[in-house]
A and B are shown apart, each in its own frame.
Chain A
Amino acid sequence: MVLTAPLATLPLSAAEPFIIVQSTTSTQNSGLYDAILPLFTATSGIDVRVVAVGTGQAIKNARNCDGDVLLVHARASEQAFVADGAGVSRSDVMYNDFVLVGPADDPARLSDTTNVAEAFAALAQGETPFASRGDDSGTHKKEMSLWQNAHVDPTDASGAWYRETGSGMGATLNIAIGMNAYAMTDRATWIAFGNKSGHKIVFEGDEALFNQYGVIAVNPERCPAVKATEAKAFIDWLLSDAGQGAIGAYQRDGQQLFFPNAQK
């Protein structure tokens, strides 16, 4: 009796229409989705189910047709996704920036550097511990391009001062804090992060740290099960004044986390 009860109550497919969004983690961990998605659901009657994994994983899942919309932050991979026919078209949604966080005493003196290439070179030179995502996420792709600009191949030092966690942003930050290492994170995740301990932002503001988020509808011709109408309604809303306004209005600790920049 006790054991048969759960069978009967397993929810069948919900009556309310829904879409699945394959997403990067920062938009979920920072609380953005909790703030804006109910507004869309209220006006459209469409429930938005977010699967928040890294950008790399989200793109792979969307390529397998396991989602209706892709919302990530790695422009080159996004453009490839559309060029391959996996996605319909890509639109800018919003941006913020990446920051380098590290121990409060900043042993590698990153706060004295003037651009991000210098900062990364200082990290390599000082051989100070650096926790990398190492997971093919949007943040990881960005980090690798920044190392390249600084003419450093950190993977030579993998396991020494360069530590590839192979984990999400939050897990990597927890690790960085645990071993007093530097890390690169998007600003939204950092502001919302609850376990900052003694760590703080040690480098920010270089234009190269720009972080653009894009949204793409999964191609219904390639993936017939995609809910194209609902997906389009969601993307249209995100790019509309209402959606853009909701993104801009979202704050944590009095700070705006995402800056809407959809093209009018």
Chain B
Amino acid sequence: MSKISRRTFAASTAAIAASATFGFKPASADDAYPTRPIQLICPWGAGGGTDATARIVGVLLEKEFGQPVNVVNRTGGSGVVGHSAISTAAPDGYTLGIITVEIAMMHWAGLTQLTPKDFTPLALMNEDPPGIQVKADSSYKTVKDLADAIKASPPGKFKASGTGQGGIWHLALVGWLKAMGLPPNQVAWVPSNGAAPAMQDLAAGGIDFTTCSIPEARAMIDAGKARSLAIMAPKRAATFPDVPTLKEAMGVDYTTGAWRGFAGPKGLPQPIATKLTASLKKIFESKEYNEFMSSRGFGVVWNDASGYAAFMDKSDAQMGEAMKAAGIAKT
């Protein structure tokens, strides 16, 4: 990894120089695309799941195009900073980005004006459903035990965590409660700085359960400190085949997930977008991508440009509904 990184540094310097010298490109260059290094913006920090996904795709895209692809982390602001950087870049195909489920959430929360419509969708490549995790020695053996206990207790007695207030896993909890006919405040949400601290708090006995994704809960599950009771997905995860879906375990048909896909700024020229989607498709089918994703426990899904656009619209509506139910939506 260090070798790639050093090369990318040199390349990004070159890219800055290049973009300064050749500010404009004739339109006919679309066929030759790409002729210089591509910048791939990741709105989340180095070392996280989104960064890892961006980097493996970046490496494979580099092989595909023979041009350097530099992953640049523009973090902070709950993802607003990076998503803004992608959408406000010049739509010339030399600045792309990985966009995540938060783009369908943060405009509802009033953090930004950006919506999925401000991008040129290229491909959806990953989705991870939330799981329901309890402490290893918890008395709840199945998700039905837990659900019954939640129903029988006064609102707010049960505490759950997994991410910040109004984050994707909070909405997953609200959606699950709604599907069971319960109000969103039946379980109190304890905001945390991501899934790892929430899992640690679970192991320490500070909260009752978490609703983060299984890959995020994996380290604690493997260490024998936590158990996963169910996942909110249409089918079981390949990496955790023993964990049932909500529908199997208690007959509640509720599914959601955190997704990651690739996009460019709005108004990307059609030939470039088509070429990128085709290359991403090749990467999606490659052995390297699938091996990497399964090693991290990440789920793989595919949607091409138009499918991804429709998927984002659906996700946007679902998130808006859950956020309104949770009382977090401002718009």
Do chains A and B interact in one complex?
Answer: no
